[in-house]
Structure formats: C-alpha cells, structure tokens
Amino acid sequence: MSQKPEQCLEEWIDREALAEAMIPLIGQLYRNNNVVTSIYGRGLVNRSVISILKAHRFARQIDNVELSVQDTYPLVKALSELELGAASIDLARLSLKFKAEGAGRDLKDFLRSELSAVVGKQGVEQRKGKDVVLYGFGRIGRLLARILIEHQGSGDGLRLRAIVVRKGADNDLVKRASLLRRDSVHGSFDGTITVDEANSTLCANGTLIKVIYSNDPTTVDYTQYGIQDAIVVDNTGKWRDAEGLGQHLKCKGVSRVVLTAPGKGSLKNIVHGINHDTITAEDTIVTAASCTTNAIVPILKAVNDKYGIVNGHVETVHSYTNDQNLIDNFHKGDRRGRSAALNMVITETGAAKAVAKALPELAGKLTGNAIRVPTPNVSMAILNLNLENATSKDEINEYLREMALHSPLHKQIDFVNSPEVVSSDFVGSRHAGVVDAGATIVSDNRVVLYVWYDNEFGYSCQVVRVLEEMAGVNPPAFPA
C-alpha cells in the first residue's frame, strides 16, 4: 500500500523529535564523560538534527537498510545513565550487536556487560592531555587544526597549543585566522574564531592557540608559552629525514615529531590501522606516509589476507596540489610546470613502493604511476591486481563490505555501492579510502578495484589517529 502524504510527514516529524532529543545527550556524554558517539565513523558530536538523520540514512550503504533513530535513541539515553569513562562508541554497530545477541535481555544489562571496562568510570581514570604544535599551516595544517579543535572535549586528549609559521604580512594573524575560518573546498569552520593580535593568539571554540613566528625550527623555546613534552607535527615537507626533522627535538618543550609526508631513510612510515602498533616509546620521529599510501594499504592488506596478491599496478588519479603551477611556468619536475587547472598531468608516485614499508609481504609486487587532474580535492586509486585465488565481483565486494563494517580496519576502509557517486561526494570523508563497489571489475583471478579518498581531510584524520596513538590518549572503542 502506498504511503499517504500525511503519514510521511508525521513519521518525519517523529524522527526529527527523537534526533532533537538525542543532541543534548550526545553533548553531555562528550563533555562530561569524554564519550564520542558515531554511526559507522560519522561523528554525532555537535551535529544538527538533519546531520544526525543523514548519518542514520547512510547506514543503508553498509547494512542495506536505514538505521532507525527509534533504535539509537534508547541506546544514547541508556548510555547517558551509566556514568561512563572515556570511550568511542559506534551506535550502529552497537545496535546491530544488541539485535543479534541481546535477545530477551534488558538494554541496560546488555550495555553494562558490553561496556564493562568503562561503566562507572566517569572521572575515575582521567587521561593526561598531550600538547600538540603544528609546524606549518597550509592545507593539511589547517585541517589538522580543525580536527584537533573538534576533538578537544574536556581537554584531556590532544591539545592544540601552537602553530609555527613564517610571517608573511603585517596583518598575518588576521589572514591566518581567515584561512582557518573559510575554506573553498571544505567549507566554513564549524564554530567561532577570535583573533588577539596583541598576544598573537587565536581562540577557536575555546581552544587557545599561540601563533609563533619563526624561520628556524631550532630557535623556538616552547616552554616560554607553557608548552611541555609536545608532539610537533611538521606539515612543511621541507625536511623528510631524521637529521632534518631532528631539529625540532632540539627545542625546549618538544619530545616527539610527526611528519605529514613519506619519510626517508629508516624512519617508520605509519599507516594507522596497519602498523601503528610498531610505534614504541623510543620512536621520537615517525612519519604518517602519504595520502595515497594510507588510502590503498588497508584495502591491499584486506585483499592479500583473503586472496593473496601475486602482483599488480596502482594508478592514482590525483587532484592537483599546491606544488603545481596554476598557469604554465618553470617547474623542476617533469610536466608539473604545465597548468594544473587546464591539464591532466602524468607524474610519478612513490605510493606503490611505500606500501612495502607498511606491508613487507607486498615488497616488489606493485608498480605505480599517477595522473594529476584539474580538481582541487578527492582522488582515486585504481588497484589492478592479479590474485592467487579466483573470486567474483559479488564475493569480493561483499568481503570488502564486511571489512568496512566489522573488521579492525573499519576506520580506514569505507564502502559505497551507488551508480551515481562522483568525486565531490567524498569531500570530508574521514576514512582512508572508500571502495566503489559498483566499479569493481573481476575476471577469474584478475581484479580491478576503484578506491576514492579525500586526499586532504581523510589523510588528516589518519594523521590524528597516529598522534593519538603516540600520545596514548586513544579511548577504548565499542563494540569490541
């Protein structure tokens, strides 16, 4: 029977009312308990009614059915009454688990059992916050700032304390604030930013950020700004080896360094979700590899674990970057001197070789190349793989859907099955890579996978995960 207009509107109003009722509960869990709630990686903190309902609607891409707010509201209400300690809770996965395993059980009893490690721990096990300094404030630096500000909670996680830049103009601070406030790709900053030129600070949603001007990383004494034992995130790409990045460690107040680019020499290239567990207390410098390496390595691992990869080729269709010229001009790199906005530009990528640093079992098995295209953000990796074991399109897609849904790589791998998605649909994706199931090609043991990735924001999320790992401020994730 077809739905009547009155019925459709009434159901929508009911869903809106439940989403509205969830908002203060989600906020209280975040501010009072340091509990971050999400739906398949899509955060719910500080979100609008429509954003929350859209996150529920998105669940159909994973489960083939829309997640009901009638199911999640009771979960959030019950969670708010359990005096939880710090945690990361995926409501969609928790709801599925309750439906599968909670038959006949009271919801609160199920939650007490499932979250026993943090139930009643509110204020008991306080995490110690970690100071973070952003050295460089370009595309990645500003997105890292947005994410760190968004994650500030009650201040016992990663704490953005300062950014270091070279002074570019008399009104430099105002211009830096404006670039943080407005972004042509990622939209407006979600909050308020106050500029204090007299004290050279920005206050963004309650996060006070000191802006330090310096041309030399060895000259900054961070302790004079109250910064101690900080992790410096080098976003400049100027130094990529231990000697160059080690200059930061000579500064007072700095204990560790993370590079937002592939490192050289013996530096560990970390892809969170794959080899982050290799970071030790002795690792004072690590790198977060590249955006492409982060996008492809989790999916390559998933495929290799099940089917075995004999060999393959990675072709990256990559948005243009600041390294290219807007109009034709001299460039030391081949072809990169031609206008980025007008041309597809064939260039090289080190991502295929870099895979071996995170997945040694694939060393020497992959080749790679890249084509820069006239879009400002969101890229695609095409994985052309020869497998040890044959499969089918439906089988490998279902396997990768399960990996996106249930595996330890669910924060890295996302999955979409729509014939209409295009690159701009993935702006703001927090996953390292998104499998486009509709584009998958399979012929016996030969597979071609298409992987979208937000090479700016998705990569920045991976960098923050590395920072949380180094700082030891990762809250336990539920359901297990």
Task: Tell me the pairing of strands 413-416 and 207-213.
Answer: unpaired
Distance from C-alpha of 225 to C-alpha of 102, rounded to nearest angstrom: 52
In the numeric block, the tokens 């721990």 are attached to: 121
- Amino acid letter at 69? V
Q: Which one is catalytic: 8, 203, 251, 291? A: 291
Name residues whose C-beta falls within 8 Å of residue 378's C-beta, 6 or more positions apart in sequence. 319, 423, 424, 426, 427, 452, 453, 454, 455
* 471, 231 contact by CB (below 8 A): yes
Full 3-state SS string of 11-73: HHHHHHHHHHHHHHHHHHHHHHHCEEEEECCEECCCCCHHHHHHHHHHCHHHHCCCCCHHHHH
291 counts as catalytic: yes
Place of tokens 């708010």: 80
Taking residue 48's Cβ as centre, other Cβ atoms within 10 Å add up to 11
* Size of the chain in residues: 480
Q: How many CB atoms lie within 10 A of CB 113?
A: 12
- State how far the Cα of 298 lies from the Cα of 300, in Å rounded to an integer: 6
DSSP string, 208-255: EEEEEE-S-GGG--GGGGT--SEEEEE-S-S--SHHHHTTGGGSTTEE
Are the C-beta atoms of residues 14 and 21 closer than 8 Å to each other? Answer: no
The residues annotated with a catalytic role in the active site are 291
